[in-house]
Structure 1
């Protein structure tokens, strides 16, 4: 088990979900160009389990927001670290993400995202 992942959770307003998805599909390909072996983003559906704190509570969603949960798989932490340095410098990322973080129409608010890098613990693949 040598894979390494970056995981993230954030809220996004429902009205912007399709617009965000279009950008995220292109962003995924850029991450893969820089070494990611897989890129996933899912939208919350069944978000409550009695006795636990939901993602919605953790990030403080509002009534008109959805939860996006995603992860990027890398073959190693070294590949991930290099990608995390190079991807933000790629002009395509600035062009894609810029409109999402425009204060006049804020679609993605990184300050509300929960993020972390994770090393393997259990792999029951296959």
Structure 2
């Protein structure tokens, strides 16, 4: 139960999902190469529950935007910190992410919610 997980959620236009998915598949492999045990991303499908604040509200999603929810699992916070350093320095990441963050702003990190989490409970 000592795993450490980075979680994230962000909006992306529906019409850019195929392009984003191609990048995400490659990014996942880089994260795993640098220490991640698992890398998962999902697209929102059923995001409303009465009485709660939804993910689209949280990230101020606009009409035509999908919500991506994901996480990266590490064996420890230390491994995660080292992986973050390695991934940030990996030139492949810059090449992959540049087309998503150019003037078209397919991905806007300023609209992403992110955090690192230590295990509270795990049931498998």
TM range (shorter): over 0.9
**Which structure 1 residue ranges, 5 or more long, are not aligned?**
none
Q: Size of the alignment, in residue pairs?
A: 124
Residue equivalent to 1:106: 105
Give the Cα–Cα distance (whole angstroms) in 1 for the partners of residues 82 and 10 of structure 2. 24
Q: CA–CA distance in 1 between the matches of 2:17 and 2:8? A: 16
Please report the TM-score for the alignment, with normalisation by the length of structure 2: 0.99
The one-character-per-residue Cα deviations of 1:44-72 (angstroms, maximum 9, x if unpaired) are 00000000000000000011100000000
Task: Report SS of the residue matched to 1:45.
Answer: coil
- Equivalent runs, 1:72-91 vs 2, <5 Å: 72-91=72-91
Q: Which runs of 5+ in 2 are unaligned?
A: none
Q: Residue 106 of structure 1: CA displacement?
A: 1.1
Partner of 2:118: 119
Give 1:24's aligned residue: 24
Deviations 1:71-96 (A, max 9, x none): 00001111000011110110000000
Q: Shift in Å at residue 121 of structure 1?
A: 0.2
What's 1:7 paired with?
7
Partner of 1:15, secondary structure, is: helix
Secondary structure of the residue that 2:7 maps to in structure 1? strand
Distance 2:18 2:25 in 1: 11
- Tell me the residue number matched to 1:48: 48
Q: Residues of 2 paired with 1:88 and 1:99: CA distance? A: 16
Partners of 1:106 and 1:116 lie apart in 2 by 22
**The residue matched to 2:17 in structure 1 has which SS?**
helix
